[in-house]
């Protein structure tokens, strides 16, 4: 019974997000799949954690002016499509599914779920809040000043935001599931570190391997394969390493580290 109420809630949030242009049509379906798997595996606690990630991302998501500026550089606009949803929420949904299939390993998979969502939240907060920084970002590898929105660009504000996002998810997860555990405050630090480290992996992969194109017309460096109506030219990175690929390395790294920690409780 309770499952059906939760699934109904997932459907309502997904349809609402579609109507408010937070999700594309395919993104809505991906969000429904992610939400339903999490409802089945982890119930209301899992959905609370997903809602904190999703709601805070939408909250920090920025206004129209920020979005149009971002659209010139990044591959995709403000509406999240299925690939973006699955890159952020797919590993967490799989962990929830594994809790459902293998309840005897529920501690490990729940821990992996938390690690993955902590990573996704750290990454999203770093991107969304970091882009509001007045400080000009620097490149994580070259340490040179670069334009906003470029992969591998970091600001101190973004780094602090990654830490805060991971901390929030970890704190709620511990309140939900592990508050009676001895040394809960230690686990809070461990999970916060997991989300933060996974976000660091994301930034390093983005900085070193992510594909960068250049528009032959206006000269803009971009993640888009077309710009100004013409195909853009690849200047660095691997063509399959787009933003979704980088994001999924982040959420998989979080899940992996979470699973390791989950065997140590």
- Residue 101 binds to Zn ion (criterion: CB under 5 A): no
Distances (CA, A) of 259 to 9, 99, 166: 28, 12, 16
CB atoms within 10 A of CB 18: 18
Q: What is the rounded end-to-end Cα distance, in angstroms, of the chain?
A: 31
Q: Which is nearer to Zn ion, 69 or 133 (CB)?
A: 69
Shortest spacing between CB 259 and Zn ion, in angstroms: 43
> Is-contact 162 131, C-beta < 8 A?
no
Cβ closest to Zn ion, residue 184 vs residue 217:
217
Q: Smallest gap, in angstroms, from Cβ of residue 208 to Zn ion?
A: 25
User: CB of 135: closest distance to Zn ion in angstroms?
Assistant: 27
To the nearest whole angstrom, how small is the minimum distance from the Cβ of residue 71 to Zn ion?
12
Count the neighbouring beta carbons within 10 Å of the beta carbon of residue 199: 31
Instruction: Name the nearest CA neighbour of 151 among 127, 135, 169.
Output: 127
Site map 125..164 versus Zn ion, x via CB under 5 A = ----------------------------------------
Q: How far is the CB of 220 from Zn ion (least distance, A)?
A: 5
Residues 220-259 that bind Zn ion (CB under 5 A): 220, 227-228
Minimal distance, residue 229 CB to Zn ion, in Å: 8
Gyration radius of the chain over CA positions: 18
Instruction: Give the number of residues in contact with Zn ion, rule: CB under 5 A.
Output: 6
The alpha helices in 131-220, defined as continuous H runs, are 156-177, 184-208
By C-beta, is 3 or 233 nearer to Zn ion? 233
Interactions with Zn ion, residue window 203-222 (CB under 5 A): 215, 217-218, 220
Q: Which residues contact 10 (CB under 8 A, 6 or more apart)?
A: 31, 32, 35, 36, 39, 47
- Residue 90 CB neighbour total at 10 angstroms: 24
Which chain residues interact with Zn ion by CB under 5 A? 215, 217-218, 220, 227-228
């Amino acid at each position: 019974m309770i499952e059906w109420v939760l699934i109904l809630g997932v459907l309502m949030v997904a349809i609402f997000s579609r109507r408010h242009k937070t999700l594309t049509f395919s993104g809505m379906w991906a969000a429904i799949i992610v939400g339903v798997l999490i409802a089945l595996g982890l119930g209301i606690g899992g959905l609370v954690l997903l809602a904190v990630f999703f709601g805070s991302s939408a909250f920090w998501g920025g206004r129209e002016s920020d979005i149009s500026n971002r659209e010139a550089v990044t591959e995709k606009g403000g509406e999240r499509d299925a690939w973006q949803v699955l890159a952020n929420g797919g590993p967490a949904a799989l962990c929830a599914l594994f809790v459902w299939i293998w309840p005897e390993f529920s501690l490990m998979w729940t821990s992996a779920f938390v690690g993955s969502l902590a990573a996704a939240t750290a990454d999203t907060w770093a991107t969304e809040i970091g882009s509001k920084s007045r400080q000009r970002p620097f490149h994580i590898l070259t340490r040179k000043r670069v334009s906003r929105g470029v992969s591998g660009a970091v600001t101190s504000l973004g780094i602090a935001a990654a830490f805060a996002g991971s901390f929030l998810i970890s704190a709620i997860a511990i309140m939900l599931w592990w508050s009676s555990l001895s040394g809960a405050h230690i686990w809070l630090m461990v999970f916060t570190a997991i989300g933060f480290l996974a976000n660091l992996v994301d930034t390093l992969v983005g900085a070193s391997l992510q594909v960068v194109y250049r528009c032959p017309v206006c000269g803009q460096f971009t993640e888009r394969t077309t710009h100004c109506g013409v195909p853009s030219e690849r200047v660095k990175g691997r063509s399959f390493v787009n933003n979704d690929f980088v994001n999924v390395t982040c959420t998989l790294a979080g899940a992996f580290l979470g699973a390791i920690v989950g065997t140590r409780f």
